[in-house]
Amino acid sequence: MTTPPPVATGQTLPVDVDALPATEFAPGIQVRMLPGMPGIRTWVMDLAPGAEWPETDVHETYGEAYFVVSGEIIEGDRTHGPGTYVAMGDRTSHRPRTETGVRAFGFNYDV
């Protein structure tokens, strides 16, 4: 997945998310990289009903967060629906899945 360049100082950049190219990350999982700020990678993820992240996502030296826009993400025994913001610090891991399908906007903190 190619990360777009960060938004420049003084720049405002509206983006039509659905017009961006999607990368088929795994069966039923599409990821679109979004312009971000220096040190923050931003993306939108669409999981089809029944999709599961292919392996455990480990955050050794960076944090990650996501905001559920529609559908539900299941993390272990917890279900996160629309309007839920989930933040994970470094030294965390997770393996999201969904039964309903989901769209979430995410952020990786590389600083």
Over residues 37-84, the pLDDT tens digits come to 888 889 999 999 999 999 888 888 788 999 999 999 999 999 999 999
Q: Is residue 18 classed as helix, strand or coil in its secondary structure?
A: helix
The chain-wide mean pLDDT, for the chain, equals 91
User: What residues pair up with 88 in beta bridges, in sequence order?
Assistant: 64
Rounded to whole angstroms, how far apart are CA atoms 32 and 44?
5
Q: Amino acid identity, residue 26?
A: A
How many helices and strands in the chain, by DSSP H and E? 0, 10
Distance of CA 48 to the CA centre of its chain: 14
**Domain positions in the chain:** 19-70
> Given pLDDT bands bounded at 50, 70 and 90, which one contains residue 96?
very high
